[in-house]
Amino acid sequence: MVVRSDNRSAHVKVLRSLGPEGRTLPLQGHVGFDSLPDQLVNKCVNLGFDMNILCVGETGIGKSTLMDCLFKANFDDTVHSHKSPGVEISEHIYNLKEGNVKLRLAIVDSVGYGDQINKENSFKPLVDFIDEQFENYLQEELKIKRDLVTFHDSRVHVCLYFLVPTGHSIRSLDLVTMKALDKKCNIIPIIAKSDTVSKSELDTFKANIMEELRDNDVEIYTFPTDDETVAEVNKDMNEMMPFAVVGSREDVKVGETTVRGREYPWGVVEIENEQHCDFVKLREMLIRTNMEDLREVTHRKHYELYRRGKLKQMGITDDGAHPVSLQETYEQKRAEHLEELQRIENEMRQNFVNKVREKDLELKRNEKELAAKYEGLRKENNEEKKRLDEERKKLDDDLAALKKKREDLERANAEHANGQNTKSKKK
């Protein structure tokens, strides 16, 4: 207490020496936390961004051409044939830079989609690919030493589904595939090569597509309307879905200007003319306005749904009322695993004992059969031997009788001969 009193009195003396108002310290600059967004932006810009686009559509429908037009680049344009035996996934990664913003763009193409006669499981490679990317991200999260900041996020952020411009209704293959993908990624339906149908047919086709999607409970991506700055334009764009687009890598001249478009005998279709197609609207919504929302929805909705299901398979549950203890879950799963191993071991041991018992019974049964067969053969042999002995004795008797008869005959012949000799001498 004495020390505290001395310190306080000394502090008061210093303040009195500085004057009635004390010493004024001028601020060297603005002090506050409103610079946090700038810090976050700078950090994100330095790290760069990932954007992964899955293009689903038939071969030759214009997927690669549209990607070139969207990002004003010349990406890999590998020509694929229509003779693929199954659906394959082709992924290409490009490092783009616009201003000081770096973007790692992954374009995933569905090679051979819709080219087979049997299209029953055409969507399965797509689903497997998306789940594989989710699994890679989940495994990185579950690591003891993880680095999600620099980890390459390969999850599919948006699926551009290219619809064939039939002008009437959506095909069954498209409905089945989009239904299989709607809980796994953000689907944006696109009517490709829309310049092949008339304006009236295109409006009817759009209405039929949206009606069939609603009737079949296919959930497509809707642009967010919670942000006031883009709420109105996003609402208008949601009503224009699906986008009818035209892609082209050719530059054609319209008057004195050169535009990107397609030239026909009757005129030129400009891909950046909103009166001709919805390409500009798609580019604005996909890249300029809602790219970050696509990434956020992928992480917050689709990946979260996959993560929950995967953790439930691992035995980690959370009812919300009781906190989940990973140690208890691990011990429980370990005990269940050991119990399962013990059950399998006991089952295998019991199966082994049963097989040995069955084999032993089979051997004894075979031994009895062999013993009975041997006894039967022995009796047959004895009987055959007895029969042969009897026949031999009979033959010996017959031989003795024959020999005696021969001797008698020889003796009779000898006597007859002697008698003849005697008669001849008397004469």
Whole-angstrom Cα distance, residue 364 to residue 368? 6
pLDDT tens across 200-215, in order? 888 889 999 999 999 9
Judged by DSSP in three states, 22 sits in coil
pLDDT tens across 178-187, in order? 999 999 999 9
Whole-angstrom Cα distance, residue 202 to residue 192? 11
Judged by DSSP in three states, 221 sits in coil
Determine contact, residues 82/113, Cβ cutoff 8 Å: no
Cα–Cα distances in angstroms (integers) from residue 172 to residues 114, 125, 164, 175, in the given order: 11, 18, 12, 5
- 75 burial (CB, 10 Å; 0-12 / 13-18 / 19+) is middle
pLDDT tens across 321-375, in order? 566 666 777 777 788 889 999 999 999 999 999 999 999 999 999 999 999 999 9
Closest CA to 142 of 381, 415, 282, 329: 329
Confidence class for position 3, pLDDT limits 50, 70, 90: very low
pLDDT tens across 407-427, in order? 888 888 888 888 777 777 766
> HSE-up of 240 (CA within 13 Å, CB side)?
18
Residue in the block written with tokens 């409103």? 34
Amino acid at 214: R
Closest CA to 56 of 116, 4, 108, 132: 108
pTM of the model: 0.69
Confidence class for position 2, pLDDT limits 50, 70, 90: very low
Cα–Cα distances in angstroms (integers) from residue 189 to residues 161, 210, 241, in the given order: 5, 10, 7
Query: CB atoms < 10 A from the CB of 123, how many?
Result: 21
Confidence class for position 318, pLDDT limits 50, 70, 90: low
Whole-angstrom Cα distance, residue 63 to residue 277? 16
Cα–Cα distances in angstroms (integers) from residue 23 to residues 10, 15, 18, 93, in the given order: 16, 8, 6, 61
Judged by DSSP in three states, 414 sits in helix
Whole-angstrom Cα distance, residue 294 to residue 51? 9
Whole-angstrom Cα distance, residue 69 to residue 283? 9
Whole-angstrom Cα distance, residue 307 to residue 401? 110
Whole-angstrom Cα distance, residue 63 to residue 192? 8
Tokens, residue 48: 């760069």
Tokens, residue 336: 């269940």
Whole-angstrom Cα distance, residue 328 to residue 318? 13
Determine contact, residues 167/63, Cβ cutoff 8 Å: no
Closest CA to 174 of 199, 192, 149: 192
Q: How many residues does the chain have?
A: 427
The least confident of 44-53, 78-87, 165-174 is: 78-87
CA–CA–CA angle 339, 343, 349 (5° rounding):
140
The least confident of 80-89, 118-127, 142-151 is: 80-89
Closest CA to 212 of 186, 188, 176: 176
What is the reported pLDDT for 12?
Answer: 45
